[in-house]
Structure 1
Amino acid sequence: MEDQRVRLALERHWAASDAGDFDVEHEIYHDDALLEYPQSGDRIHVAARTGKAASPSPTRSGLAFAGLPAAVALWVTEFVLTYDGKPSYAVSIMEFHNRLVARETQYFTEQFAPSPSWARLVER
C-alpha cells in the first residue's frame, strides 16, 4: 500500500512540474532536501525554491516508475523531456525519508546514434 501512495505522490509531483505549479511540485520534498544534476554539477537546496522554478518548462512524456521495497525508500522515474521540440532522456532518483524526498539526483542524456560496432544489433 505504501508503494501505491508513493507512486501517486510522484505522479502528482511530475504533473505539477509540467504545469509550472511549484508549490504542489515541492510538496514531496523535505525542507532541507538536496537536488543534484551531475552533468552540470548543480546542487540546489529545495528551501531556496529558485532552481527548479528558474528552469524552462519542458513537456514530459513516458513516465516509468520503479521502486524498491518501502523500507529502502528509493524511487526511480524515467521520462523524456522535450525542449524546443528536441527530446532529452532523463532519470530521476529520489530518496524518501519519512514520506518526503530528502535527496533527488537527475541524469539527462542527449540522443545519439549507435556505435558502428553494434549498429547491426540495434532495433529501431
Structure 2
Amino acid sequence: MSDQEIRHALDRHWAASDADDFEDEHQIYRDDAVLEYPQSGERISGRRNIQASRTAQPNKKRFAVRRIVGSGDLWVTEYVLTYDGKPSYTVSIMEFRDGKVVRETQYFGDPFAPGSSRSQWVERIV
C-alpha cells in the first residue's frame, strides 16, 4: 500500500471516529490488531474487541485531528479527543502490515495550567 493510500485510510478512519461510525472506523485494523493504552495499563487484542470496547464507551466524543505524519509502516496522528466537552490531547502511533493496522498505541495528555516561571517566553495558543 502506498503512503498516499495509507494517508487516505487514516483520514477516513478519523472522520468515521468523529462521526461514531464504528464499522467504518475499524476497517483500518487487521483482524489480529492490538491496541494499547500505556497510561491505564490496558491491551485489547483483535479488531472486533477493539470495536466492541469503543462501541461500549458511554461518553459523547469528538475527534479533531491536528496533524498526521508518517511513511511506510509507521504513522502518527496528533489529535484532540474531547469526551463530554473535556479535551484530551492525544497521540496515536499506528504500525501497519499489509495495508492494515497491526498495532496501535495511544497516549493521552490532559490540559494543565501554564507555569508562571516561563510566562515571559510563552505565546498562548488555543
Normalised by the size of structure 2, how large is the TM-score?
A: 0.87
Alpha-carbon displacement from aligned partner over 1:36-69 (angstroms, at most 9, x marks no partner): 111111111223232122223411113310003x
Which stretches of structure 1, 4 residues or longer, exceed 3 Å deviation after superposition?
none
Worse-matched range after superposition: 100-109 or 84-93: 84-93
Q: When the two structures are aligned, how many residues end up with a matched partner?
A: 121
Task: Map 1:20-99; keep pairs closer than 5 Å.
Answer: 20-45=20-45, 46-48=47-49, 49-55=51-57, 56-68=59-71, 70=72, 73-99=73-99
Any stretches of 5+ residues in structure 2 without a counterpart? none
Equivalent residue, structure 1, for 2:118: 118
Would the aligned equivalents of 1:29 and 1:101 in 2 still touch at CA under 8 Å? yes
Which amino acid in 2 is paired with 1:7?
Answer: R
RMSD: 1.6
Q: Which residue of 2 aligns with 1:14?
A: 14
Gaps of 5+ in 1: none
Q: Would the aligned equivalents of 1:79 and 1:90 in 2 still touch at CA under 8 Å?
A: yes
Counterpart CA distance in 1 for 2:41 and 2:113 is 25
The one-letter code sitting in structure 1 at the alignment partner of 2:56 is A
Q: Is the 8 A contact 1:18 1:57 kept in 2?
A: no
Can you list the C-alpha shifts for 1:81-114, whole angstroms capped at 9, x where unaligned? 1222221110100000010000000111111123
Task: Determine which structure has the larger helix proportion and give its number.
Answer: 2
Q: Is the alpha carbon distance of 1:35 and 1:57 closer, same or farther for their aligned partners in structure 2, counting shifts above 3 Å?
A: farther
Identity %: 57
Structure 2: distance between partners of 1:59 and 1:121: 32
TM-score, reference length from structure 1: 0.88
